[in-house]
Amino acid sequence: MLNTKRWSVDLEKDLSTYYPQIKQAADLLQQNEVVAFPTETVYGLGANAKETEAVMKIYEAKGRPSDNPLIVHIAEVQQLHEFAQIESEKAKALMDAFWPGALTIVLPCKPGTLSKQVTAGLSTVGVRMPDHPIALELIRAAGLPIAAPSANRSGKPSPTQADHVASDLEGRIAGIVDGGSTGIGVESTVVSCVGETPVILRPGGITKEALEEVVGTVSVDPGLTKKDEAPVSPGMKYTHYAPEAKMYIFHGSDEDMQRHIQKYKAEGLKVGVLTTEEKKSLFAADVVYSCGWREKPETVAANLYRVLRQFDETDVDLIISEAFSEEGVGSAIMNRLQKAAGGRTLPSFQ
């Protein structure tokens, strides 16, 4: 067991006040230790992307399959030239438009520059520049490209608060930089810019519509729905973001959803419902949690993982979630729900 250090940083105050704490965390990264830190999406679990010894500690702490590539985080564009080839004009346009921000861009990786454990043996690497002052300051202080998946045990909901990180990884990692709650709440959008047409490998905080305003046509990788292909991006394989109770998604009417609730309750099961503020009074279940406003999907994204973790504090046997539109950020919301449910859905009553 490691003695996990924790540093609290108040973003309401001048960040320079906290430089000694950030420097301590950066020193651990330079020593090939693993440190969790906040980004604008979720908390990341960072390590030196150049050293296999450091990167393997991420996989060990998370219990993560080693064929799942990691995203590399940078604080300055010039860092990118150390390990990636930037040949695509569309990639440059996306960087100009969305960095720093919730966009990961997949580019050809220069051989021998990063640990092969970062790329999972692929010839490409996903890179992003986070839009969070603590993340940027930490990366600058470390002077390294930082490999960082979400800071949770593999398969669990991603952490949007430092307490979520501690719950999963206390004693397994060297440190946690506590910067309060994250903003967007779902991970970055991942876009491959290896070919002529950019391809979304994982929906996230930046929508397809926003990408197309900058570079024109953007396609969606069919691997998002195929289970038998090797993942070329985090989030494309395995059950992710899952609460402990079995979860189902329901696409039908509110009345039919309540019928499912009643059916399971009649079988002696305790039922949880994941819904929205507009609908929470419609369902009579053992536990009903709202994750935001249906008319404001960005609030659903921001609260989704927190609410999934709340269910783990209850004794429900199963969770039924309402479905959402897949327009805009709804695409990321439904992607995460489908992963959390392992693809399980409930049929409408005939």
128 marked as part of a ligand binding site = yes
**pLDDT at residue 242, rounded to an integer:** 86
Cα 97 to Cα 350: distance, rounded to the nearest angstrom: 48
Tell me the domain boundaries of the chain: 5-183, 246-346
Q: What is the pLDDT, as a whole number, of residue 128?
A: 98
Are 341 and 248 in contact by the 8 Å Cβ rule? The answer is yes
Q: Is 348 annotated as a binding residue?
A: no
Binding residue per annotation — 153?
A: no
Q: pLDDT of 79-101, one tens digit each?
A: 999 999 998 999 999 999 999 99
* Cα angle 272-278-283, degrees, rounded to a multiple of 5: 35
Whether 32 has a binding-site annotation, put simply, is no
Cβ atoms of 29 and 46 closer than 8 Å? yes
Tell me the average pLDDT across 316-345. Answer: 95
pLDDT above 70 for 350: no
Residue 331 annotated in ligand binding: no
Q: What percent of the chain has pLDDT over 70?
A: 95
**71 φ, ψ (degrees, to nearest 5):** -90, 140
State the Cα–Cα distance between residues 49 and 52, nearest whole angstrom. Answer: 7
What pLDDT, on the 0 to 100 scale, is given for residue 118?
96
Domain 246-346, second-level architecture:
3-Layer(aba) Sandwich (3.40)
Q: Other C-beta atoms within 10 Å of 344: how many?
A: 12
Least confident of 57-66, 176-185, 243-252, 319-328: 57-66
The answer to the question of whether 124 is labelled as a binding residue is: yes
- The CATH number of 5-183, from 3.90.870.10, 3.20.190.10, 3.40.50.720, 3.30.70.100, is 3.90.870.10
294 marked ligand binding residue: no
**What gap in Å lies between CA 283 and CA 246, rounded to an integer?**
19
Looking at per-residue pLDDT, the higher value among 17 and 350 belongs to 17
For residue 224, the one-letter residue type is L
Between CA 168 and CA 331 the distance in angstroms is 27
Taking only Cα atoms into account, the Rg of the chain, rounded to an integer number of angstroms, comes to 20
Reduced to 3 states, what is the DSSP secondary structure of residue 148? coil
241 among annotated binding-site residues: yes
What is the mean pLDDT of the segment spanning 103-116? Answer: 97
Mean pLDDT of the 112-135 span: 96
| The pLDDT of residue 222 | 87
d(CA 167, CA 178): 13
| Interatomic CA distance for residues 236 and 339, integer angstroms | 9
> Average pLDDT in the 40-46 region?
97
68 is in an annotated binding site: yes
The single-letter DSSP state of residue 349 is P
- DSSP one-letter string for 269-296: --EEEEE-TTTGGG---SEEEE-SBTTB
Q: Say whether pLDDT at 290 is over 70.
A: yes
Confirm whether residue 188 is marked as ligand binding: yes
- pLDDT tens-digit readout, 214-247: 999 999 998 775 554 444 555 444 466 889 999 9
Instruction: Confirm or deny that 321 is annotated as ligand binding.
Output: no
Would you say 155 and 69 are in contact if contact means Cβ atoms under 8 Å apart? no
**pLDDT tens sequence across 174-221:** 999 999 999 999 999 999 999 999 999 999 999 999 999 999 999 999
Q: Which of 11-25, 59-73, 217-231, 237-251 has the highest mean pLDDT?
A: 11-25
